[in-house]
Each structure stands twice: as structure tokens, then as C-alpha cells.
Structure 1
Amino acid sequence: MNRTQYIRQKEKKYHEHCYANYKLFEEGSWLHRPVSGVIEMMNLFKEQQYVTVLDLGCGVGRNSMPIAQKIKTGKVVCVDLLSSALHRLKQYSYDFGVADCIQSVESTIEHYQITANEYEYIVAVSSLEHVPSKSELENVLHNMKTGTKDKGINYIVMNSSVEEIDMDTNVKLDPLFEVNLATEEMLYMLRKIYIGWEELRVVVKPLEYRIVRDERHVLLRTNAITFCVRKKFENA
């Protein structure tokens, strides 16, 4: 088993435990609310009759559900590699009355084919750092750009400079992130790839979480980067 397979196995176990024990939008986990900025940006599309959205690493629909509720007509394509997450996403889409516009796709992010000039809004929250390598991350970002319509928006939240520390022994662990770049390097890469796009929101927020990995209590430290940009008219 290579490192990527090992990390994905651990991530699968962690997420399936979370999805099985916590309901969407109930307090007790990170599922209890969407990313507020992701939903706020939907206001920029409120005059449009039809909106197409891509949610990469959608999970059970933490952001997809409220996005779909804000659309008059359109579609939200929800991509995740966990079939169990997509099964729950489908159930939640009926619970929240948005099943007609939710489309689920079981795929890794790096293998998902993004159709060119297809989407007004592409969202990737805490998912892009789980592609296998920096080069594949760059490929995905370029594909996201290509898939975005003029004046469309990409909203990215990524962890950077991640540390994981065993809380019992205070020993630093190997962080279970396939791509773990220094914050400055990550920002440089994003700005280089999205050169010419309008920056709507760029924020770096230091965060700490207490998580459980293999029944060990672990402190996860990260600089969470919010990078939200809008594509300008090609002929502008």
C-alpha cells in the first residue's frame, strides 16, 4: 500500500464514522453548518435564472444542500470518492427538497473530467489537498479554471502547513494529507495559476482541531487558506 492509498484508507474510516454518527446540520461535528462564505457568494448569481455548480469533495452535502436551495433552476454536480457519502447525500437531497438539481458522481477529484466552460461556480472545501501530488493539484486547478464560465467563481478552502501532534506523548506525527505545502508556497501557487482573475476573498486563518486517529487523540494545526476568485471576461 502506498502513502496515498494509506491516507485515503484512514480518511475513509474517519469520514464514514463521522457521517454515520452525526447528521447533517446537527451540532456536534463540522457537519453542523456550511462554510458561510461559500453560501454568501451565491448572492452574486441571484439574478441568473439557471446556475451550474460543481462541488469537488462534496461529502454528504454540507455545502451542496444550501447551494442547491439558493438556485432558482440549475444543477449542482457533487463529486466524492466515497459511495457511502453520496448515498447519504442523495437521501439528504430529498429531505431538503433539492433532489431535482443534485447530481452525484463517484470519482476521485484528480480523475474527474471537468467540462470546459460549464460552471458558474466551482467549490472545493478541504478536498484539493487530498489529490496525490502537487503536480496533480496544479492539473486540477487548471481544469477548474477551464471549466469556469466568464465571470464565474472558484471558491477554494485548503489546509496548509499542517501539523499533527499526539496529545498524549506530544510527539509530532506524519500529517495524513497527500499535499501539505507551506502556506506561502500554497498561496504563491494559487495566485500564479489564477493570474488575471479578480480576488474576491483571500484569507489565511490558523486553526486547531482535536481529532481521533486510530483511537489516539491528535491535535491538528493548520493554516486554512480561503481563496475565492472570479474569472474576468476573456475579451476584457
Structure 2
Amino acid sequence: MNRVEYIRREEKKYHDSCYENYTLFEKGSWLYKPVRTVMEQLSLLKGKQDIRVLDLGSGVGRNSIPIANEIKSSNGKVVCVDLLPSAIKKLSQYCKEYGVEQVIELVQTDIAEYQIKQKAYDYIVAVSSLEHVSSESVFDSVLEKMAAGTKEGGLNCIIVNSEVEEVDIETNEQLDALMEVNLKTEDMIHKIRGIYNGWEVVKQVVKPLEYKIVRGEKDVNLRTNAITYVVRKGKDPFSTYANSI
């Protein structure tokens, strides 16, 4: 088993356990609320019909179900892509529970393998998923496909971890961080800026975070610089916000 296979096995264990033990939007877990930045960008598409959204690494619908609720009245659609069968299974259940099964399309595959149609989407979201592709070159490739798959005036919202560290809480031992792509913050930002050269930067924030996770039987502190990067492809004259960002 190579390193990427090992990381994905451990990540599968962690996420399968979360999805089994915590209900979507249940208080006390990271599934409690959608990401505020993800939801805020929908205002920039206000008034549009037939909005098309792509959620890469959707999980069980933390962001995609609230998005679907927002855009269903305007004939919107959300494509949700996730590698884990457990995520897609739970998401299918939640789609029915929250009445958005007609709005959401489910795709179980590696986000690196998903073929993004050119200029197909108004909004592409990737939250804590790009760092889990198999290599830096694949990371670059997925970003390029996201950029090419965005309509003029469309948005990409990226939240990605950098400089990740994992520390055993009991022993304070530094562990191997189980992240496929783990770059220095400045290098990660440089990559993203290069791909989106010429796009309008709506938001760029780096926030140090620390939280407890479980690796096997160990309680572990995970530390990261979380990068939030929201960009817009050109100016969209349809939107009343086009000249105010």
C-alpha cells in the first residue's frame, strides 16, 4: 500500500465514522452549518435563472443542500461529487429528507476523475477537498478544469488546507500529517493565483485553525492554515453587484 492509498484508507475511516455518528446539521459537529463564505457568494448570482453549481467533495451535503434550497425556485441544479460511497449514500437520504432530490445530481468518483464541462457552471465549490487529490500536478489540473468549467461572470470558492500538522495529544509527538497535498501556505496561494490570473478576487483569507480529530485510537490535534479564495471570472453585467465588489 502506497502513501496515498494509506491516507485515503484512514480518511475513509474518519469520515465514515463522522457520517455514521453525526446527523447533518446536528449541533456539536463540523456538519452543523454550511460554510458562511460558500453561502454568501450566492448573493452575487441573485436574480439569475437556471443556476448551475458544482460541489467538488460534497460530503453528505453540508453546503450543497442549503445551496439547493436557495436556487431550486429558479430552476437551479447542483452536481455533487464525492469519492466515498458513505457520503453519497447519506447525501441521497438527506436530499429526500430536505426535499431537494430533484435539484441535486449525485456522482461518486474521485474529483480528479470528474470531467468538468467547459463553461458549464455558474458556481464551483471545493471545500477541504483539493488537498486530497493524489499529487501537486493533479491539484493543478483540477484547478485548471474548474477555471475552464466556469461561465463568464461565474464564481469559484476554494477552501483548502496548507501547512497541516498533526500532533498526538497524549504524547505531544509530531505525527505524519495525513494529507495528500500539503504545501506551504505561500506556495499554495501562488499556485491558485497563477491558475486564476486575470480573474477578480472577491475574497482571500488565511486563517490558522486547530481542532481535535481521531486517528485510529489516538486523539490528535490537527493544525492548519486554511486558505479561503473566492474568485470571479470577469465582470457579469447581469449582476447588480458586478461593480461593487
**DSSP 3-state at the match of 2:76:** strand
**Could you tell me which residue of structure 1 aligns to residue 139 of structure 2?**
137
Q: Using the alignment, how far apart are the partners of 1:118 and 1:176 within structure 2? A: 33
**Deviations for 1:71-102, whole angstroms, at most 9, x for unmatched residues?**
02121000001111111101111111111110
Q: Which residue of 2 aligns with 1:170?
A: 172
Deviation at 1:206, TM superposition (A): 0.3
1:30 is paired with a residue of what secondary structure? coil
Aligned residues: 234
Runs (5+) with no aligned partner, structure 1: none
For 2:113, the equivalent position in structure 1 comes to 111
| TM-score computed with the length of structure 2 as normaliser | 0.94
Q: Which residue identity lines up with residue 49 of structure 1 in the other structure?
A: Q
Q: Over residues 134-158 of structure 1, what are the superposed CA-to-partner deviations in whole Å (9 max), with x where a residue is unaligned?
A: 0000000000000000000000000
Match of 1:154 among 153, 156, 159: 156
Gaps of 5+ in 2: 237-245
Question: Which amino acid counterpart does residue 23 of structure 1 have in structure 2?
Answer: T
Deviation (angstroms), 1:15: 0.3
**Any residues of structure 2 matched to 1:19-30 within 5 Å, and which?**
19-30=19-30
Instruction: Supply the distance in 2 between the matched residues of 1:47 and 1:107 (Cα, whole angstroms).
Output: 32
- The alpha-carbon deviation at position 168 of structure 1 amounts to 1.1
SS at match of 1:50: coil
| Residues in 2 aligned to 1:177 and 1:150: alpha-carbon distance in whole angstroms | 33
Name the CA distance, whole Å, in 2 between partners of 1:149 and 1:179: 28
Q: RMSD over aligned Cα, in angstroms?
A: 1.0
Residue 64 of structure 2: aligned partner: 64
Q: Write the letter of the residue equivalent to 2:179.
A: F
One-letter code of the match for 2:227?
I
Cα distance in structure 2, aligned partners of 1:220 and 1:212: 10
SS of residue matched to 1:195: coil
> Separation in 1 of the partners of 2:210 and 2:65?
26
**Structure-2 separation of matches of 1:30 and 1:215:** 20
- Residue 233 of structure 1 deviates from its aligned partner by 5.5
AA partner of residue 210 (structure 2): E
* 3-state secondary structure, aligned to 2:44: helix
Q: How big is each residue's C-alpha offset from its partner over 1:27-80, in whole Å with a ceiling of 9 and x where there is no partner?
A: 121000010110110111121011000000000000000000110212100000
- Structure 2 match to 1:15: 15
2-side partners of 1:2 and 1:233: how far apart? 44
TM-score (norm 1): 0.98
Q: Residue 184 of structure 1 aligns to a residue in which SS?
A: helix
Q: d(CA) in 2 for partners of 1:41 and 1:159?
A: 20
Cα gap change, 1:233/1:41 in structure 2, threshold over 3 Å: closer, same or farther? closer
Q: How does 1:216-227 map to 2 (within 5 A)?
A: 216-227=218-229
Q: What is the one-letter code of the residue matched to 2:130?
A: L
